[in-house]
Structure 1
């Protein structure tokens, strides 16, 4: 029944531009007690469906290598803390104004602060914005909010009416158990998991690797749950620990289908959990709470974003996407009810308020499209997807660069498979006589379908740095025998690609700029031989600088070589400079954060 409802409702809602999340919620509402009543116990479904959120956090963790996580520390513990603290204080005040006792208002407000990770991640994932700057900021805030559930549960325990010495000891013991669980998972992730997966990979049995991937995700979640922590955070930490593993892409491919189904099941369960009879009985307080909490939270998020230099559009989008409550509020409210801080009816009102806010969010996002219209979704009419390709050469990305790079290969009659993720480009290429297949090269399943496993040479000609690096890393880990050539954006990106083990990289404007400069000096009187010699010298010095940067050493001998090269190049051009002048420029250009 659940699968049938999802298969019918989600495509229908997507067709009308209402989004997949709203489709799941509507289908769940229809099946639940407030609808036709085919499922009378939504809680039983919700308990299992929460594994969808767990697996989603595991996949996010796989993308968050420790170095990336460390780079986001200011956003997680800076922006995240500011937003949670500010929104928590404001929403607690709103609760007091609505007539709740201060402690109850605090629990209500802090629960509503915890945004729905599932909804925001799903929407960002559908848009392909998880790795964008604005997406990374939202992911960082969500991670901090997921972490915040741990101290909030501790605060609930402290505020609970029973305050004996035994309970105080129990709380400290619980803290120790939680810390032990974190250390145990870190030890297992760093020492045990990689050899474990290497052993299983040697069996060449795909289903065993899938079972092992699920074992790791569910095992980490169970360990954290048993320790009083968040299941989702356990899975996320497991993902982070495996993010540098050679098996990470395989793990992602194995878990992804389960993640998608279970996350859809989670939204169905949330829809079923909306009890319309409770909403009808308490409609006034719930309506006031939904309006007040969503409005105050959204305004606070917008103001914080603007104060921290985000654009109006980015701040507005973050406010709309993160203005609702989330699934971790259910955990906080249930714990507070068990501890005797709130009664059953109050818990039902709080839960209904959060669910209504989650249901309303997709509608607000639709409204946001009219305020800030996004690019229309790509039509797949007349577009063939990549499947079962097996050419000698695989070319990924058929933009300006890829079109030119393909011509020598086609002129030599090499068999070339071309994929691109822009449907309009695929159709235009067909009109020009090129056979281009639709496919996203950042997905492992698409690379397999496009023939990456049998291709002798793979050309990455995509125009986005992050996309190119991601594809290079996938190819390095999953298809190590293929020779990979990549288009680099700049020197820093070239170093990233070299670290990703590409066989050849070329900055997209480097050779054309050299040819342009060579033509310029010929028009100023240089012979063709002189121009070629100068260009060869520039190319050689650039190679030396790149090697020095790869070694991370622009000091001592590296700095001396850079200065002498610069002086020599200037004098060849007829410009008289001293080494002191160049020294000053080098000091500026090698300063931390400088693009040179």
Structure 2
């Protein structure tokens, strides 16, 4: 790895840490971001800089563990329900992006650089893959992972990680080298499906009991070691069968997202993730061949411009076609103009298979690295292209936040909740993330602090540790669930009341430990129905009986669903699906039915004196 094989390991570590400690703060001070700092540090200490290290590939093999840990932590932030909800973005938007970008990008090496169509196709498809590590790190630094454009970008990146498998198969198909010695396609596919099944079943049934046993032992360092073991084992298994190591770590994280040990695992792995991800970007910087840039600067400049234009145009066009707002589409497109780390794998495989020459692969690696270096600058341009700039972020001072009740979310729901509490003189602290709403509330004399309730540091600053009661009144159910998890894990002494979106969300909140939940439209719908019955002329006592009957049926149905009973079977007995049967009299009624629109008196039938 180092220029001298006798160099001790601690000296190598000293060089890496020293380069990062100097470069990253400097670049952040210049508002260029930490990623560019890592890339610059790698360029300086690499074989094309000071030459302190001669082999960047071996460094990258170790540094890729940072990407693996990063994907595991991202998986912890999701769960299978949210992943299923993203299926349209993953498979439609992601697949369209890879195919269209690959076919358009291949025209540059085919027509400008005059490469064979096989090499141009692999180059185009490889450049269609963006950098998961780079984009997610950018989103993480800006606190935009859970934003709309952050979720869209993540869905595309996830499909790209999956796409590396068929792309490697395509390289083998285009290779002029005889590769019949490998496994048949059906055996390779069976191995991949088997590996995924092993990860899924292990994560579903074994990991939670495994961590429960370790937690009962009380050894914190063992929990950290176990978390690393799970991540590395899943990544190794996926690599062995030809899949992405990051995919295995991501699956393990998703399957542990429902675990009670999720936040503990995230906190344990965060230091390793940060250091190793920084090492990954340093190793990418070490691959920058300055002499290749100087020799082919015109070709590379045109390639960077072309790649950026094609990728941003394709992502923006597809997102608008799928009816995404302009702001979300442009922010997502400007996050994904770069090549990615999986391109390194694809290009080296193509060289080994004889699909492209080493010279072309070298230029492609330089192109990917340059595009990665330019991405933070390009992404920073997003506010200039949106129709309406986002509301300015406020720096809030929570020193006066001393309420015994913390209300998170001051929309329509939270405002009414606060009125009841304030009417009784309860000391309330309220936070919200909508700057315009906060300013409007201040005009009415309310003190609402600016803060994102899904962030643990904001909750602490707002006094969640001192609060007797935490009222989660936000609109988005994902945010409400996230806040509940943070509060139950970090503030166990406080009771947590949560606004539920619907029945399914209410059941989920109870499973996650909410002390009280209420569906946001339930009470208003009951009141509306009660008024409707009164308007129909029913006596008040009968209206009260009907209301209590409906409430009791709902309670019974909810209790049965909590026990895991079938929704349809439960609903069949507890819901009115047709008018309730009325007792039929033995003697026919001695009056005629009443119509809502009686005929005029002149046209009314005359009474002939007979009984019906």
TM-score range for the pair, normalised by the shorter chain length: 0.7 to 0.9
Point out the more displaced range, 130-139 or 10-19: 10-19
Does the 8 A contact of 2:557 with 2:571 survive in 1?
A: no
- Is 1:284 aligned with 2:287? no
Does the 8 A contact of 1:484 with 1:504 survive in 2?
A: yes
Distance in 2 (CA, whole Å) between partners of 1:407 and 1:307 is: 44
Aligned residue pairs, count: 561
Partner of 2:573: 557
Aligned in 2, Cα 1:267/1:432: closer, same or farther, shift over 3 Å?
A: farther
- Is 1:341 aligned with 2:355? yes
Does the 8 A contact of 1:384 with 1:437 survive in 2?
A: no
- Is 1:238 aligned with 2:252? yes
- Is 1:257 aligned with 2:261? no
State the Cα deviation string for residues 346-380 of structure 1 (Å, max 9, x = none): 21101011111111222222222212264366354
Distance in 2 (CA, whole Å) between partners of 1:37 and 1:377 is: 45
State the Cα deviation string for residues 158-188 of structure 1 (Å, max 9, x = none): 33333154x2447765555444433332332
Does the 8 A contact of 1:385 with 1:438 survive in 2?
A: no
TM-score if structure 1 supplies the norm length? 0.78
Aligned in 2, Cα 1:191/1:3: closer, same or farther, shift over 3 Å?
A: same
Does the 8 A contact of 2:32 with 2:377 survive in 1?
A: yes
Alignment of 1:53-92 (within 5 A): 53-92=67-106
State the Cα deviation string for residues 323-362 of structure 1 (Å, max 9, x = none): 2211100011111222233232221101011111111222
- Candidates 480, 483, 490, aligned match of 2:495: 483
- Is 1:46 aligned with 2:60? yes
Shift of 1:53: 1.5
Point out the more displaced range, 282-291 or 156-165: 156-165
- Candidates 382, 407, 415, aligned match of 1:368: 382
List gaps (5 residues or longer) in structure 2.
1-14, 562-566, 582-593, 597-612
- Candidates 189, 193, 209, aligned match of 2:223: 209
Please state whether the residue corresponding to 2:115 is helix, strand or coil. Answer: coil
Does the 8 A contact of 1:385 with 1:439 survive in 2?
A: no
State the Cα deviation string for residues 363-409 of structure 1 (Å, max 9, x = none): 222222212264366354745599xx9x9765545677667756877
- Is 1:470 aligned with 2:486? no
Point out the more displaced range, 66-75 or 359-368: 66-75
Point out the more displaced range, 508-517 or 35-44: 508-517
Distance in 2 (CA, whole Å) between partners of 1:478 and 1:536 is: 43
- Candidates 213, 217, 221, aligned match of 1:199: 213
Does the 8 A contact of 2:392 with 2:435 survive in 1?
A: no
Shift of 1:455: 6.2
- Is 1:150 aligned with 2:162? no
Please state whether the residue corresponding to 1:458 is helix, strand or coil. Answer: strand
- Is 1:322 aligned with 2:322? no
State the Cα deviation string for residues 446-494 of structure 1 (Å, max 9, x = none): 6678786786543324454321121223445676675321234566654
Distance in 1 (CA, whole Å) between partners of 2:502 and 2:365 is: 51
Distance in 1 (CA, whole Å) between partners of 2:276 and 2:39 is: 14
Point out the more displaced range, 488-497 or 288-297: 488-497
Aligned in 2, Cα 1:562/1:361: closer, same or farther, shift over 3 Å?
A: farther
TM-score if structure 2 supplies the norm length? 0.76
Partner of 1:378: 393
Structure with a larger share of its residues in helix: 1
Distance in 1 (CA, whole Å) between partners of 2:148 and 2:556 is: 30
Aligned in 2, Cα 1:261/1:159: closer, same or farther, shift over 3 Å?
A: same
State the Cα deviation string for residues 482-519 of structure 1 (Å, max 9, x = none): 53212345666545434544222245677689899999
Partner of 2:285: 271
Partner of 2:152: 137
Shift of 1:196: 1.1
Shift of 1:148: 1.0
Partner of 1:296: 310
Partner of 2:202: 188
Distance in 1 (CA, whole Å) between partners of 2:20 and 2:418 is: 42
Partner of 2:11: none
Does the 8 A contact of 1:462 with 1:487 survive in 2?
A: yes
Does the 8 A contact of 2:89 with 2:156 survive in 1?
A: yes
Please state whether the residue corresponding to 1:560 is helix, strand or coil. Answer: coil
Shift of 1:309: 2.2
Distance in 1 (CA, whole Å) between partners of 2:35 and 2:445 is: 40
Shift of 1:232: 0.5
Aligned in 2, Cα 1:173/1:223: closer, same or farther, shift over 3 Å?
A: same
Distance in 1 (CA, whole Å) between partners of 2:205 and 2:525 is: 48
Does the 8 A contact of 2:23 with 2:38 survive in 1?
A: yes
Partner of 1:307: 321
Please state whether the residue corresponding to 2:197 is helix, strand or coil. Answer: helix
Does the 8 A contact of 1:61 with 1:237 survive in 2?
A: yes
- Candidates 87, 107, 127, aligned match of 1:112: 127
Shift of 1:83: 2.0
Shift of 1:229: 2.1
Does the 8 A contact of 2:149 with 2:331 survive in 1?
A: no
Aligned in 2, Cα 1:228/1:381: closer, same or farther, shift over 3 Å?
A: same
Partner of 1:458: 470
Please state whether the residue corresponding to 1:334 is helix, strand or coil. Answer: helix
- Candidates 517, 542, 545, aligned match of 1:505: 517
Does the 8 A contact of 2:110 with 2:117 survive in 1?
A: yes
Point out the more displaced range, 49-58 or 348-357: 49-58
- Is 1:103 aligned with 2:115? no
Distance in 2 (CA, whole Å) between partners of 1:385 and 1:176 is: 61
Aligned in 2, Cα 1:168/1:37: closer, same or farther, shift over 3 Å?
A: closer
Does the 8 A contact of 2:95 with 2:159 survive in 1?
A: yes
Partner of 2:589: none
List gaps (5 residues or longer) in structure 1.
566-574, 578-596
What is the alpha-carbon root mean square deviation over aligned residues? 4.4
* Larger Rg over CA atoms: 2
Please state whether the residue corresponding to 2:363 is helix, strand or coil. Answer: helix
